[in-house]
Structure 1
Amino acid sequence: MNAMASLQGLVGGVLIGLSAVWLMGALGRIAGISGIIGGLITQRPKGDSAWRVAFLAGLISGPLLVMAVGGGLGNVAGVPGAVIGEPAGGVPLMLLAGLLVGLGTGLGSGCTSGHGVCGLARLAPRSMAATGTFLVAAIATVYVVRHVIGGGV
């Protein structure tokens, strides 16, 4: 086991938790990324975009800052020297998957960050059901892609 990777994961998890607590404490908002982005797109309520832009800027700048100070992001590509590799199923499949995730967050009234991080921490029954559904759907998707379709991903 890589101790540095474990430490980075621990620090990242603590920072995610602190940002969720800060957003709830300071603004009374749930740190659900799909809701934050959706609010920027739909502009509901009016004049509510500054904190959303700042939160998203933090999501993007955090990893860039870690890379700038030499922390790296780990090799998630499986290829030496690469940080992020080609999508395992190709770009069209990745785009379709992204569209389906977006539709799912609309149907589920939230995403894994809103339900899984914030909702479970508040012991919200709706979030418990949503997170369980996310997990079952993810397990079924991996099974179908790897064993039924035979994607070998």
Structure 2
Amino acid sequence: MGPETLLPNGIAHYLLGGLLIGAGTVVIYGATGITAGASTFLESTLSYVSGLPRFQQFRFTATRDWRVVFTLGIVLGGALYGLAFGEFGWTTDVQWWRLLGGGVLVGIGTRVGKGCTSGHGVCGVGSLSEASLLNVSVFVSIAVGTALTVQALGVSP
């Protein structure tokens, strides 16, 4: 498998995307002192509508406003890219229930692992956090193993 197979659209998209993600994490950390992970978004958002003590913790209520703006920025960034380059629409043949199931498992994993790909994979690995290095090595290994198993079994979307 050559580079043209691994990166069929060339390297520029990935390089620019990585630079923008890195710059975004630096801006958020510099402005708030908080790692730019997205997994706390659910709890902080639920703090608006739920009176349960779990969601009313200071760490959720104190950061919920900027986390909503951060998450809306992720969606808006994708929409602006779509407008600029005409790339809109559903881009997978995977059934909705598989996406939902995968999303639920990822959501549980982010809580068990105390963070998500953006928190551990971008910020944690970048700061050489031992917990993040372990988390990332585990979830990447499981993802690769799952992909290879699914491929070997001939499962398709």
Structure of greater relative contact order (alpha carbons < 8 Å, 6+ residues apart): 2
Counterpart in the other structure of 1:66: 81
* Unpaired runs of at least 5, structure 2: 47-54
- CA 136–15 in structure 1, closer or farther in 2 if over 3 Å, else same: same
Question: RMSD between aligned alpha carbons?
Answer: 2.2
How far apart in 1 are the matches of 2:92 and 2:136?
Answer: 28
Q: Report deviation, 1:141.
A: 1.1
The answer as to 2:31 corresponding to 1:20 is: no
TM-score with structure 2 setting the length:
0.79
2:70 corresponds, among 41, 51, 55, to: 55
* Offset at residue 47 of structure 1 (A): 4.1
**1:101 match: secondary structure:** helix
Q: Structure 1 unaligned runs (5+)?
A: 74-81
- Counterpart of 1:101 (choices 84, 87, 106) is 106
Q: How many positions carry a matched residue from both structures?
A: 142
Query: Could you state the TM-score of these two structures normalised by the residue count of structure 1?
Result: 0.81
Using the alignment, how far apart are the partners of 2:118 and 2:24 within structure 1?
Answer: 11
Shift of residue 40, structure 1, vs aligned partner: 2.0
Task: Tell me how far 1:19 sits from its aligned partner.
Answer: 0.8
Q: Which of 119, 130, 143 is the aligned partner of 1:114? A: 119
Tell me how far apart the structure 2 counterparts of residues 13 and 44 of structure 1 sit (CA, whole Å). 33
Counterpart CA distance in 2 for 1:38 and 1:17 is: 24
Shift of 1:83: 4.2
Give the structure 1 partner of residue 146 of structure 2. 141
Name the aligned partner's letter for residue 73 of structure 2: G
Q: Which amino acid aligns with 1:132?
A: S
Q: For residue 145 of structure 1, report the CA deviation from its aligned partner.
A: 1.6
| 1:57-105 C-alpha deviation (Å, 9 max, x unpaired) | 110111212222x3244xxxxxxxx7433442x1212111111111111
Amino acid across the alignment from 1:51: W
- Which structure 1 residue ranges, 4+ long, deviate > 3 Å from structure 2? 1-5
